[in-house]
Structure 1
Amino acid sequence: MPQNLALEIAVQDPAGVRVAGAVGAARVELAQALALGGLTPSPATLELSIEAAREAGPEVHVLIRPRAGGFHYDADELAVSERDVRRAVDAGAHGVVIGALDPSGVLDLDAMARLRDAAGGASVTLHRAIDVTPEPLATLRAARELGLRRVLTSGGASAAVDGIDTLRALVAAAEGAIEIMAGSGVTAASARALAATGVDALHFSAKRSVVEDGGVRMGSAADGVGGYEVTDLATARALIAALA
């Protein structure tokens, strides 16, 4: 594995934190509902995951996202997010992962500054909201000016391996002043090519599905019945082995 490449695993619970610790990941991004792109985890999940991390080792960075869908938030949603940022940091999280866009689809500087300030001195990552902005390089510059620690990006593609050219451009534009972390659909097959772009970190979920058939749909989504996802130790190990 490249010497300076950090690994971050997206997890949904304390068990996922322990998997990340077992494979030597530097960080976890703690969320719930990864199938929806990730949402803010519950307070109990937050507290128990931080407790697990004290033994397992990885830093805990908490996704703050009040709902699925786009990233333009109203006043109530921003108020919820601000309180969730404070809750996460007060609970002992090392950082938070945020993103807010204005009605035109560019980074909402006022909302981002408000959430950044709520984090106090904790690390702040801009999540993949950057990937739906019209000019990712301009968004990166704004993130630098806001003093954010890193950006999680797929290079504007659905899967990071398809955004490699943009990832290289973002690495060059970052000039070492802000970290670039590649994520979305990262697998053992794509990890080496992504690492070769010069990114500072790889973000992946290493998940597998647990299939259940309850026979009754429990939500409006197409997958509202049938199972759930967990962080898988063997999948995480396979990706890391591919980097070796």
Structure 2
Amino acid sequence: MTRTLALEMAVQDPAGVRIAGDVGAARVELATALALGGLTPSPATLELSIEAARAAGVEVHVLVRPRGGDFHYSDDEIAITERDIRRVLEAGADGVVIGALDAQGRLDVDVMTRLRDAAGGASVTLHRAIDVSPDPLATLDTALALGLHRVLTSGGASAAIDGIDTLRALVAAADGRIEIMAGSGVDAANVAALAATGIDAVHFSAKRSVIAASGVRMGSASDGVGGYEVTDRDTAFAVRDALGL
């Protein structure tokens, strides 16, 4: 049987959704603050992106993450995540992307069960929390036991191409029981090699930075050079073309 590789684009707004539709992506992961690894998008961003997705024929899977940093969350942060899951699905999202680890860095089964249950029967993707867990293969087993639908992973490396051996191992261990989706640093130069591992899907942002020097700090991480990221149409098509799609 011929395997069909699914494309998922990480986008931050309706414009990114429309580009994903033009590229032929099966779905988008909708988030904000991709530079921080992604955070839960605003209600208006969600609503307008879902409208764009319906017109473009792509699914919307929402990253539900209350803050940047690690994946060990406080009780308040878990409660926020749980409510946000319900909210984004009520708004019409097709699925959610979540991840929570315990104090030892393992997948937090109690929290993940609570969040999975909040999603009802919607599709649930395990976020890259797996990549900072001590044993990605053991984390995959836990994801399977929880009944999750897919895992977004870079193979435990900062960039997926550097975790390619672990990606192969995850594909073998999954044995078709759960989708393995490679993401992080995916571009036209490496996407074909990643696809050759046998992954079910590839996740990429195809983003570029728009920079404007203001000279005024706008936060603790600011150096007075303001900027933001947008989905770049040409970069997105280059990834697709590199796969021969």
Using structure 2 for the length normalisation, give the TM-score.
0.97
Match of 1:90 in 2: 90
* Cα distance in structure 2, aligned partners of 1:13 and 1:84: 18
Within 5 Å, give how 1:16-165 maps onto structure 2.
16-165=16-165
State whether residues 214 and 224 of structure 2, in contact with CA within 8 Å, keep that contact through their aligned partners in structure 1: no
1:66: Cα distance to partner?
0.1
Q: Secondary structure at the match of 1:203?
A: strand
Match of 1:242 in 2: 242
Describe the shift of the 1:224–1:161 C-alpha distance in structure 2 as closer, same or farther (beyond 3 A): farther
* Cα distance in structure 2, aligned partners of 1:108 and 1:181: 21
Match of 1:187 in 2: 187
1:222: Cα distance to partner?
4.4
What are the Cα deviations for residues 53-84 of structure 1, in whole angstroms up to 9, with x where unaligned?
01011100000100010000011000000000
1:39: Cα distance to partner?
0.4
* Cα distance in structure 1, aligned partners of 2:126 and 2:81: 14
State whether residues 219 and 225 of structure 1, in contact with CA within 8 Å, keep that contact through their aligned partners in structure 2: no
* Cα distance in structure 2, aligned partners of 1:129 and 1:196: 24
* Cα distance in structure 2, aligned partners of 1:96 and 1:224: 35
Match of 2:202 in 1: 202
* Cα distance in structure 2, aligned partners of 1:224 and 1:177: 48
Q: Secondary structure at the match of 2:70?
A: coil
1:3: Cα distance to partner?
5.0
1:226: Cα distance to partner?
2.4
1:178 is aligned to 2:153: no
What are the Cα deviations for residues 97-137 of structure 1, in whole angstroms up to 9, with x where unaligned?
00000011100000001000000110000010000000000
Q: Secondary structure at the match of 1:139?
A: helix
State whether residues 154 and 184 of structure 2, in contact with CA within 8 Å, keep that contact through their aligned partners in structure 1: yes
Amino acid at match of 1:16: G
1:225: Cα distance to partner?
3.1
* Cα distance in structure 1, aligned partners of 2:108 and 2:28: 26
* Cα distance in structure 2, aligned partners of 1:148 and 1:3: 21
Per mean C-alpha deviation after superposition, the further-off stretch among 219-228 and 159-168 is 219-228
* Cα distance in structure 2, aligned partners of 1:33 and 1:129: 17
State whether residues 153 and 181 of structure 2, in contact with CA within 8 Å, keep that contact through their aligned partners in structure 1: yes
Describe the shift of the 1:224–1:105 C-alpha distance in structure 2 as closer, same or farther (beyond 3 A): farther
Match of 2:230 in 1: 230
Q: Secondary structure at the match of 2:170?
A: helix
Q: Secondary structure at the match of 2:213?
A: coil
Q: Secondary structure at the match of 2:225?
A: coil
Q: Secondary structure at the match of 1:62?
A: strand
* Cα distance in structure 2, aligned partners of 1:234 and 1:137: 35
* Cα distance in structure 2, aligned partners of 1:227 and 1:123: 33
Amino acid at match of 2:230: V
